[in-house]
C-alpha cells in the first residue's frame, strides 16, 4: 500500500490524538492496523539496545520493558503503543533519531529501530 503525503499527515495527526504522550514518533501507517495483532502472547519484552549509527555505542546500556496484553491473549498495535506511552522513559533516547522505522519480533522479544 502506498500513501500520498496528505494521507500520511492525516494518519500522523490521528496517531497524535490517540497517543498524545507518545515518547517518540510512532509509525503513522500503523493507524490503519491498530487492532491487528502484533504478537500472539499475553506479554512481550521490548528490548532496546540504545545505540545508533550516529553515536555508536557511546551509552550502550540496553533497556528492556515488559508490556502486557490488555485482553490476556495477544498484543495489538494499539495495545503496544499504549504500553509504550505508559512505560517508555524519555531518557532511553541516545540521540535525535526518534522516528520508529522498524519493529522486529523474535519469540516474544520486540526490537525497535529508529531513524529520522
- In the complex, which residues of this chain contact Zn ion (CB under 5 A)? 52, 54, 95, 97
For Zn ion, the closer of residues 58 and 87 by Cβ is 58
For Zn ion, the closer of residues 70 and 99 by Cβ is 99
Please report how close the Cβ of residue 62 comes to Zn ion at its closest, in angstroms. Answer: 16
Please report how close the Cβ of residue 59 comes to Zn ion at its closest, in angstroms. Answer: 12
For Zn ion, the closer of residues 51 and 68 by Cβ is 51
The C-alpha atoms of residue 106 and residue 116 are separated, in whole angstroms, by 24
Please report how close the Cβ of residue 44 comes to Zn ion at its closest, in angstroms. Answer: 25
Q: How far is CA 105 from CA 8, 38, 48, 90, 91, in A?
A: 25, 9, 12, 22, 23
Please report how close the Cβ of residue 14 comes to Zn ion at its closest, in angstroms. Answer: 27
Q: Which of 29, 34, 36 is nearest to 12 (CA)?
A: 29
* Cβ neighbours for 77, distance < 8 A, ≥ 6 positions apart: 30, 33, 34, 35, 36, 38
Greatest pairwise CA separation for the chain in angstroms: 39
Q: Is the CB of residue 44 less than 8 Å from the CB of residue 75?
A: yes
For Zn ion, the closer of residues 50 and 78 by Cβ is 50
Amino acid at each position: 500500500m502506498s500513501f500520498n503525503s496528505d494521507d500520511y499527515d492525516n494518519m500522523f495527526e490521528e496517531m497524535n490524538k490517540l497517543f498524545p504522550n507518545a515518547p517518540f514518533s510512532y509509525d503513522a501507517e500503523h493507524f490503519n492496523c491498530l487492532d491487528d495483532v502484533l504478537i500472539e502472547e499475553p506479554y512481550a519484552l521490548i528490548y532496546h539496545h540504545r545505540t545508533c549509527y550516529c553515536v555508536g555505542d557511546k551509552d550502550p546500556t540496553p533497556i528492556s520493558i515488559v508490556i502486557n496484553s490488555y485482553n490476556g491473549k495477544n498484543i495489538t498495535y494499539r495495545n503496544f503503543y499504549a504500553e509504550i506511552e505508559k512505560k517508555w522513559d524519555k531518557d532511553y533516547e541516545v540521540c535525535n533519531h526518534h522516528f520508529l522505522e522498524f519493529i522486529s519480533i523474535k519469540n516474544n522479544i520486540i526490537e525497535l529501530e529508529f531513524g529520522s
